[in-house]
Chain A
Amino acid sequence: MADILLEVRDLTKEFAVGRKRVRALNGVSLGLEEGEILAVVGESGSGKTTLANLVLGIEMPTYGDILYRGTPLKTPRPLHMRRRLQYVQQNPWTTLNPRRTVFQSVALPLAVHKLTPPRLWRERVAELLHLVGLGPEFLDRYPHALSGGQRQRVAIARALAAQPEMVILDEPTSALDVSVQARVLGLLLEIQARFSLSYLFISHDLAVVRNFARRILVLYRGQVMETGPTEVVFRNPVHPYTRLLLASVPVVSEEEAALRPSWPWDAQDRLGPGEGCPFSSRCPWAQELCWRERPSLVPIQKSHLVACHFAELFVEEVSHHG
């Protein structure tokens, strides 16, 4: 088994909202192996961006640990950690400084981390641009002259300039058209294999995740609902929230439609969750226990974990007999 690169234990982040304290992240644990792609899936308010910010050291956890190769990460992150851990953000329109040329943006990590002598910067940046499929004519262009897809490519080149070990990808293609999205995702996979990078891939698009990540972690209101190998979770989604997510994906073919779990759409939402399962207000199967007690994440099968009191209801018959 490969070494664990990043380990997150019981990570919790509270924000003060007026007099109340809101838990954006509530006891999340995960491990990212070297050379692995782990997808973190969730909707707005699930805490996926907070998770990215905590790992990057942009925010301080309320409690919980973040370990990198077994060593707790210091905040603020030392320079060598900032090099190893890179970030590609969601919005291609705000990710690049509009007053810097592509060359200036991509050369910045080279200067900060002293990776290349200044006289070779142009050569190195051209090389990095080539890697992401952009020609040297882009060197002196400003972001406003680039399309969304081209900007995301520049952002990827900038992350690669630091020669990272791990990249956090926060919805890198959600703002792009499908034809462009496919190209950028293909590029990311190619780069991942070539430099054996580890990706923490934050997304809300399950169809993308299915084809991009080896493992998946489903977040809802700051808690892990289900996690496991992507193929297993898609074949046998156990947590009602995962089932709702899958049932909601608009698909383009009959085969995909057949794969989606059924969902009782007419069920009404009920009272908001108290101490219990965060999904209990939307869950058609919620019982009193669900409102009272938060279920813990337990294995259904090896490496397939679910946080639901009634998980056995949704485990397919096949896995019982087979």
Chain B
Amino acid sequence: MIAVSLLEVKQLNLSLRTHTGLAHILKDVSLRVEAGERVALVGETGCGKSLTLKAILGLLEGKGLVVSGKVLFEGEEILGTPRILRLRGVQIGFIPQDPAASLNPTFSIADQLLAVVRRVRRNLPKEKAWALIKEALVEVAVPDPDRVLASYPFQLSGGLCQRVLIATALVNRPKLVLADEPGTALDVTVQAQTLRAMRHLTEKSGSSVILVTHNLGVVREFADRVYVMYAGTIVEHGPVKSVFQTPRHPYTRALLDSVPRLTGGGLPQGLDGHIPDYTSPPKGCRFRPRCAFARPECAEEQPLRQVAEGHEVACVLYAEVPRG
């Protein structure tokens, strides 16, 4: 029997009808997540990382979209099928980006957590359900959980709201958690605590995570493997250690070089130019117009090529490296 990945995204393409024409946003995005694995999806604003998450969650139907490709959860197709509705909030949890805007202001925290618990355990006695949600908050290091449960979102700080959302996503022990920039809206000390809580909890429950972020430091601290996205394409992916120690793709290298270092050494150079217009993206490698190493061959499609154990790069510079 061939082992089935927990989640597999195959050749996901996504286009959006706009008034200036069809915007080809995601191009052949493929990724996979194994059980218990923490995977990061990193890229700058507008590279399609949040769209990829929403496509997996089935939150993009209609809306002038043209979608093709496959999203397999435990080997079964969930893209465009009603199956995702049963999985969402049960087997697949979601942690949204903006903590304050993602909780319903008219319900107490307890009501919102209970509603999620009831998706799975409809007949759980009230006391048991209450104990369960209280425990969920304790797990994410919420001080004074009784007060928090009785509160409405506006009575809590951003950090507390974020932890409540993490607790909500994890209370049903989903197999997969999708996190969209958790902690970005928070202070750096609270962000550090939030990420620790998330790592601790998912480790304990054995859940897999896809973490979407623009912060390379967060990737290094949190994830086992990383996918680097540029303009709707995966340009490089591999184990975090391998990618951070020997980044191959010119974009990954430029991105890493743009991060100011705590050790000093002066300001980084940064990168010129901007992401292409999605209605007429460059043929072949989409990074070509900004790339210092661009050659004529870059106008051809660049498949991902293996450069090290589990580390693949979509760049013509590595065409010569033999497979394996």
Q: Is B283 an interface residue (CB 8 A)?
A: no
Smallest Cβ-Cβ distance to A186: which chain B residue: B267
Interface digits, B213-241 against A, CB 8 Å rule (1 contact, 0 not)?
01111101100000000000000000000
Does the CB pair B217–A252 fall under 8 Å?
A: yes
Smallest CB separation, B256 vs chain A (Å):
6
Smallest Cβ-Cβ distance to A177: which chain B residue: B44
Smallest Cβ-Cβ distance to A231: which chain B residue: B264
Stretch with Cβ within 8 A of B (4 or more), from A67-75, A253-261, A291-299, A307-315: A253-261
Q: Is A13 an interface residue (CB 8 A)?
A: no
Does the CB pair A265–B143 fall under 8 Å?
A: no
- Chain B interface residue count, CB cutoff 8 Å, equals 40
Question: Which of these, A186, A234, A245, contacts B264 with CB under 8 Å?
Answer: A234
Does the CB pair A265–B258 fall under 8 Å?
A: no
A250-B217, A265-B193 known; A208-B188 Cβ under 8 A = no
CA distance A179 to B264 in the complex (A): 17
Q: Is A191 an interface residue (CB 8 A)?
A: no
B95-136 contacts to A (CB < 8 Å): none
Smallest Cβ-Cβ distance to A147: which chain B residue: B274
Smallest CB separation, A235 vs chain B (Å):
10
CA distance A245 to B258 in the complex (A): 21
Q: For A178, list chain B residues within 8 Å (CB).
A: 44, 214, 216, 255, 258-259, 270
Q: Is B261 an interface residue (CB 8 A)?
A: yes
Does the CB pair B220–A250 fall under 8 Å?
A: yes
Interface digits, A202-224 against B, CB 8 Å rule (1 contact, 0 not)?
00111110111000000000000
Does the CB pair A253–B44 fall under 8 Å?
A: no
Smallest CB separation, B105 vs chain A (Å):
20
- Chain A interface residue count, CB cutoff 8 Å, equals 41
CA distance A252 to B263 in the complex (A): 11
Does the CB pair B244–A250 fall under 8 Å?
A: no
A147-B274, A252-B217, A252-B220 known; A211-B267 Cβ under 8 A = yes
A177-205 contacts to B (CB < 8 Å): 177-183, 185-186, 189, 204-205
Does the CB pair B260–A207 fall under 8 Å?
A: yes
- Chain B interfacial positions (CB closer than 8 Å to A): 44-45, 143, 158, 187-193, 195-196, 214-218, 220-221, 244, 254-256, 258-272, 274
**Can you list 27 A-B contacts with CB-CB less than 8 angstroms, sorted by A residue number?**
A177-B45, A178-B255, A182-B271, A186-B270, A204-B187, A205-B188, A206-B262, A207-B259, A208-B260, A210-B263, A210-B264, A211-B261, A212-B260, A234-B264, A245-B188, A247-B192, A248-B189, A249-B217, A249-B262, A250-B195, A250-B216, A253-B244, A253-B261, A255-B263, A256-B261, A256-B263, A259-B263
Across chains A and B, which 9 residue pairs bring their CB atoms closest together, nearest first? A250-B217, A182-B270, A179-B271, A248-B192, A43-B187, A183-B270, A177-B44, A256-B262, A207-B260
* Additional 17 contacts, C-beta under 8 A, given A186-B267, A259-B263, A268-B143: A147-B274, A178-B270, A179-B44, A179-B258, A181-B270, A182-B258, A204-B188, A234-B262, A246-B262, A248-B191, A249-B262, A250-B217, A252-B220, A252-B244, A252-B259, A253-B263, A265-B192
